[in-house]
Structure 1
Amino acid sequence: MLKTLQKSTALFACIFGFVLAEPAWAADDLSPQQLLNAMTQAERQLNYQLIFVQNDNGNNHALQYRYSFKDNKKYAQMTTMDGVKRDIIQRDDMVSYFNPHIAPFTLKSQYIVDNLPPLLQADFDKLAKYYDFTALGRNRIADRMVQMVRIKPKDNFRYHYVVFIDEETHLLLRSDLLDQDGVLLDQFRVIQFATSETPLPFVESVEQLPFPPLISDKRKAGKTSNWKLSWLPQGFRQMNKTLTTDEEGNRIESRFYSDGLFTFEIFVSDGQQNEAQNGSLRHGATTIYSETMNNKEITLIGQLPIGTAKRIVQDLKF
């Protein structure tokens, strides 16, 4: 009996030991923060293609993403793998959308944001003031050895990530977005990828593709009402503000905030909403919280816990 138990224990250690082992960095012995910086650098500088699955609120989407550099210009393509084919194509600072149900269009942007974790564009040296980066050891994703790092806020007002970074290329192979209770809100998981020393073949066809019409944001910066947010989690700051009107002629003011990892937008509308509609809704990582005050409709939409969204809105002052 004792020998059988010893064999079972040894087998368990062989199977799970690499996950539970003490953090063991790759040959370059990077710290968690250095590894995160290497990840963002790899995403911008390597030529690579990958197939990944995104789990958003229980819905799985399979996509292909290709990224390449040529003549100091960035090229990328995001393509759906199931159902109706949809393409998003980046040519340097222009991102074009091709959907069979609507006319193609182009937006100015430095990168494709759809379906990719925002942490790929983060500045972790700046985020270190508000987040802790902790090594969690090694694991295996897409038949590759990876290093696991937890990105956790120093407060309890936002979500946190666990990321899985390829030891050899430093590309992100998986990210789990979790709430304060550890519930999975969104997952990015690579199932197949490859890198190349030269620009990928798709670049040539993308260069020859005509640009769809450039669409400008119809919202404009304007003089907003005298209101302000009395409280924000540390690190969040206003990025821009816009002013527009709805179909009924009501003014809608919006202000966009970010801490460099998570974002949210506040909308203040002259149209008073029915108080029975006040409240909150969470869809995956996205929270929608609304209240009526001072005869105005206040709505927050962003990647924040409901409790944080509620406090921000309720502390808004006119």
Structure 2
Amino acid sequence: MQGYRYLLAALGLASSLICSTVFAAAPQLAAPQQTMPQEAVAQQTVAPEDDVETQLPAGEQRALLEGERWFNLMQKALTEFNFNASLVHVQDQRIEMFRWLHGHNSENEELELLHSLNGPEIHIIRRGQTVSYFHSMSSPFSVRANNMFGPIPTAFFREFENISKAYDAVPMGGARIMDRTTVHVRLLPKDQDRYGYSLWLDRETGMLLRMLTLSQEGEPLEQVQLTALEITNEPNPELAQILDLNLPPVVEDIHRGVSVQHEWQTNYLPRGFTLVRGNHHRLPITGIAADYFLYSDGLTRISLYVSEDPEAAVNLRHSGLESLYSHSYADYSVTVVGRLPMATLQRIATSVRR
């Protein structure tokens, strides 16, 4: 029973990475650029990379450079354009609809608004590096962050270089989306340890119009589709209204300065993943104490929980877009949560040693 409750707790933390439940855990994720104290760093071994860079044929090199160019055009469109968009986010049986506004004020500070059009009322407001979350069923709060946590991966708001160790960007032709001509760009993993992505970008502006998260077998796991888009010279007047709002106070992460309590060695991580932060805290629901580590390859994240309680998790697993795998040893247990294939999570969990 305790293991089942631990599964529920870990799944709750996993689901908090998506927009609909970010309100419960966003303070823990508010500062993805925050580096952790040196004493809190777990030893780790990353999947080996080739010692010598493989020389690709000239045609393949040109294709990769073209894919990278389109990705950076998308990043520029998402961060520099004034736009008013509507989108649909499909994940499993859940369908969410949002309105999305982006622009800049007179001081060139980014302004952004995302609000739900079905289900519980959700509003997310970004004013520069302050992001505020409003939910009809919880108290509002603000966090320090450069991007919202929502349907669009935060890596899409940064240049391709940030994910180039783990992915190749390859143009694959195009299609017609929203009556616009697009370029289809595949984000192909450089290994079999993570999911791939398909992006359809407006050929005229580079704007993201559609995104698919794809399993290793090419099956769609998640879809984001714009249903309306207006790009303007001036920001939408609604964005000016958020300049006068009294936003909720910034919530500081109470775990940020808490070091891990034990030394752990992660003997396997997929290529490109680096440690973002680590701390020690008790999990929601169960109250079980665990050392926590957050890793990122720039596009997706891995949450690793290691507890001194060997009965905290008894070889549990849950497959989906956000998967979970746990493994028990004689005197400790490990749970890994992330948007990665089950085999990858299993390999990470079973590699953790004292």
Please give the range of the TM-score, normalised by the shorter of the 2 chains.
Answer: 0.7 to 0.9
Partner residue, 1:270: 308
Q: Deviations over 1:220-274 (max 9, x none)?
A: 3314311111011111111111122358875321111011112111011223336
Gaps in structure 2 of 5+ consecutive residues: 1-64
**TM-score, normalised by the number of residues in structure 2:** 0.77
Give 1:206-285 correspondences, 5 Å limit: 206-220=242-256, 221-246=258-283, 250-273=288-311, 277-283=314-320, 285=321
Secondary structure in 1 matching 2:173: strand
Relative contact order (alpha carbons < 8 A, sep ≥ 6): 1 or 2 greater?
2
1:155 maps to 2:185:
no
**TM-score, normalised by the number of residues in structure 1:** 0.85
Structure 1 Cα separation of the partners of residues 118 and 248 of structure 2: 24
Cα distance change, pair 213–314 in 1 and its aligned pair in 2 (3 A): same
Contact preservation (8 Å) 2:101, 2:239: no
Cα distance change, pair 46–249 in 1 and its aligned pair in 2 (3 A): closer
Percent sequence identity over aligned pairs: 26
Gaps in structure 1 of 5+ consecutive residues: 1-29
Structure 2 Cα separation of the partners of residues 46 and 249 of structure 1: 45
Return the match for 1:140 from 176, 193, 210: 176
Contact preservation (8 Å) 1:140, 1:146: yes
Partner residue, 1:23: none
1:67 maps to 2:67:
no
Secondary structure in 1 matching 2:206: coil
Structure 2 Cα separation of the partners of residues 294 and 218 of structure 1: 31
Partner residue, 2:137: 101
Cα RMSD for the two superposed structures: 1.8
Q: State the 4+ residue runs in structure 1 displaced beyond 6 angstroms.
A: none
Q: In the alignment, residue 238 of structure 1 is paired with which amino acid? A: L
Structure 1 Cα separation of the partners of residues 157 and 329 of structure 2: 36
Partner residue, 1:45: 80
Structure 2 Cα separation of the partners of residues 75 and 126 of structure 1: 23
The structural deviation recorded for 1:115 is 1.9
Q: In the alignment, residue 125 of structure 1 is paired with which amino acid? A: E
Structure 2 Cα separation of the partners of residues 304 and 121 of structure 1: 21
Q: Deviations over 1:53-103 (max 9, x none)?
A: 011123211111111111121111111111332211111111111112111
Contact preservation (8 Å) 2:210, 2:225: yes
Contact preservation (8 Å) 2:260, 2:291: no
Secondary structure in 1 matching 2:268: coil
Contact preservation (8 Å) 1:141, 1:191: no
Return the match for 2:235 from 188, 199, 204: 199
1:84 maps to 2:114:
no
Structure in which a larger fraction of residues adopt strand: 1
Secondary structure in 1 matching 2:226: strand
Structure 2 Cα separation of the partners of residues 77 and 271 of structure 1: 43
Give 1:21-40 correspondences, 5 Å limit: 31-40=66-75
Partner residue, 1:286: 322
Instruction: State the aligned residue count.
Output: 287
The structural deviation recorded for 1:298 is 1.1
Structure 2 Cα separation of the partners of residues 126 and 246 of structure 1: 31
Contact preservation (8 Å) 1:123, 1:260: no
Q: In the alignment, residue 228 of structure 1 is paired with which amino acid? A: Q
Cα distance change, pair 317–148 in 1 and its aligned pair in 2 (3 A): same
The structural deviation recorded for 1:282 is 2.0
Partner residue, 1:302: 338
Structure 2 Cα separation of the partners of residues 302 and 110 of structure 1: 21
Cα distance change, pair 278–170 in 1 and its aligned pair in 2 (3 A): same
Cα distance change, pair 73–229 in 1 and its aligned pair in 2 (3 A): same
Contact preservation (8 Å) 2:122, 2:136: yes
Structure 2 Cα separation of the partners of residues 301 and 308 of structure 1: 11
Contact preservation (8 Å) 2:260, 2:292: no
Q: In the alignment, residue 95 of structure 1 is paired with which amino acid? A: V
Structure 1 Cα separation of the partners of residues 204 and 223 of structure 2: 22
